[in-house]
Amino acid sequence: MSEAENLFERIIAREIPADIVHETPNTLAFRDINPQAKTHVLVVPKTRYRNVAELAAEPELLAEVITTARAVAELEGIVDSGYRVVFNTERDAGQTVFHVHAHVLGGEQLGFFGRYEGRGNPHDG
């Protein structure tokens, strides 16, 4: 087996163990080792793209990543209560592994995005 370039490639190659939740021929979903919500699963394409902007060049694979995220939400029982799918792109957004991955978060009430520190919904008048 060849040397994988990053952590996710090593997980895909089964060189590093992971708690795998779901797999398709083109995607792998596994639990985040540092969960930020009760449910926190990462969905990665098995082919490496640096970020979601690069993956956008392959719309069918991008759609499969989103479909896999939905399957994870179904398996985790969080479809009805709600879930969030997040792609971090580059360092300032918090991307630390440069192999595109979707975070599927849910299973509890989630907070707001970014630096908003007010109360209530910022979109309510």
Q: Which residues are catalytic?
A: 101
The alpha-carbon radius of gyration of the chain (Å, integer) is 15
β-bridge mates for residue 20, sequence order: 30
Q: What are the angstrom distances between the C-alpha of 36 and each of 5, 28, 47, 86, 107?
A: 25, 19, 25, 12, 11
Residue 82: CA count within 13 A, CB half-sphere: 5
The Cα–Cα gap between 35 and 11 comes to 17
